[in-house]
Structure 1
């Protein structure tokens, strides 16, 4: 085989590899966006009674998430953030970074004397469940399963407890 033929084969193999890599990236991005939308739908389902009672409503805003490879406005990670309020206390879900190491930040205003508690949600790769970890005020907390009961108890912290 002559060297020009070898060069042609190398270029073709490299092109196929790059196309496969880009397709995997697009597939991963689609899957990540679907997981965020599923998270938002799950939270909406959990809080449906509050919406029906007029105690909260969900709002969505466009959001450009980032990662190390895309740290600026050129990021292909176009998504949205989800917000709602409990009384005067905003709750916000913001996709910080996309991809296999991606996470969604959860901030809840009014849970502590600091004014705002911050948590991160990450997908448990093995089970495909969201895991919650406190990120402000405590060093390296253990991740806990993000369930309706746990989220409900967390949100109860912003509601004044009346004795009576």
Structure 2
């Protein structure tokens, strides 16, 4: 009976160690995914940034996860004329997603998710799930729609 207990506890410890390793990997992967999203936006908006009709400002964001501890990433503020658009990373993700960023204006809120393959998508509907691959063209159309 004590052998069964020892084996049970060893198995439990192995599972806990694996979970800790996964949490550590997630803690590094998540901010890297956020940065990849920002690099795409900077690339897609480069012409307007160079013309100084769009301005970017980053703020350090502290996200505290109970199990994973503190994670630091950046929040992006995009300034267009008199309008401000915030891109706020969140650890809250949908099933099957590895990242989530909320785009907020005074009037509109939109969600972007990163799928298991690292592709960012515009989340149009949760039920039924509809998420379209985010491209330069549709991102610029989304910006136009929230600014008009």
Would the TM-score normalized by the shorter structure come out above 0.5? yes
TM-score by length of 2: 0.78
The structure with the largest strand share of the pair is 2
Partner of 1:132: 122
Give, in angstroms, the shift of residue 148 of structure 1: 0.8
CA contact (8 A) 2:55 2:80 kept: no
TM-score by length of 1: 0.71
Q: Root-mean-square deviation (CA), in Å?
A: 2.9
1:49 and 2:47 matched: yes
1:96 and 2:90 matched: yes
The structure with the largest helix share of the pair is 2
Partner of 2:19: 21
Cα distance in structure 1, aligned partners of 2:77 and 2:108:
15
Partner of 2:111: 120
Per mean C-alpha deviation after superposition, the further-off stretch among 74-83 and 24-33 is 74-83
SS of alignment partner, residue 58 of structure 1? strand
| Max Rg structure | 1
Cα distance in structure 2, aligned partners of 1:150 and 1:95:
20
SS of alignment partner, residue 128 of structure 1? coil
**Unmatched 5+ residue regions in structure 1?**
110-115, 160-164
CA contact (8 A) 2:61 2:74 kept: yes
* Alignment: residue pair count: 143
